[in-house]
Amino acid sequence: MGVLIFIGCLLLAKPLLDLAYYPIQLQVVDVVSHIEGRNQYAYIFNHEFGLFLGRALGCCLFLAIAYWGSGIAALKYALPVIALLQLLSIKVANQIFRGLTAAGNGVSPVASFTASQMEA
């Protein structure tokens, strides 16, 4: 029963996540490729490759805990470890955002890109 509830929640959550996430990601790709003058597909590849590495790391962590511990330990501890790593990435993202804001004299890259698109 728990699996059916999980799949049902996943069927509802995945489209909503995609609706929220992909427009933001594509706008970031547009802004960064415009600022750096590089191809947009390179950024999309980097993003997808990063997602793949994260999934592979999570899978390897789960398998390592299951191999050296037990399956129950892997189910208990792999997800919290990955969640902790995700929480640490928030600090890194804030530092990147502060650096971008400082480089742009207090103007966010999105605002400057939007303004340049309106002028064109």
Spans of all domains in the chain: 2-119
How confident is the model at residue 108, as a pLDDT?
Answer: 56
Q: Please, is 94 exposed, middle or buried when counting C-beta atoms within 10 Å of its C-beta (0-12, 13-18, 19+)?
A: exposed
Please, are residues 110 and 27 in contact by the beta-carbon 8 Å criterion? yes
CA atoms within 13 A on the CB side of 33: 15
Residue 46, token pair as written in the block: 């980097």
**Residue with the larger pLDDT of the pair 112 and 84:** 84
Phi, psi of 110 (to 5 degrees): -65, -45
The stretch 73-93 carries a mean pLDDT of: 88
The 8-class DSSP code of residue 91 comes to H
How confident is the model at residue 30, as a pLDDT?
Answer: 85
For the chain, percent of residues with pLDDT exceeding 70: 86
Cβ atoms < 10 Å from Cβ of 31: 21
How confident is the model at residue 118, as a pLDDT?
Answer: 53
CA distance 24 to 30: 10
Query: Is residue 112's pLDDT more than 80?
Result: no
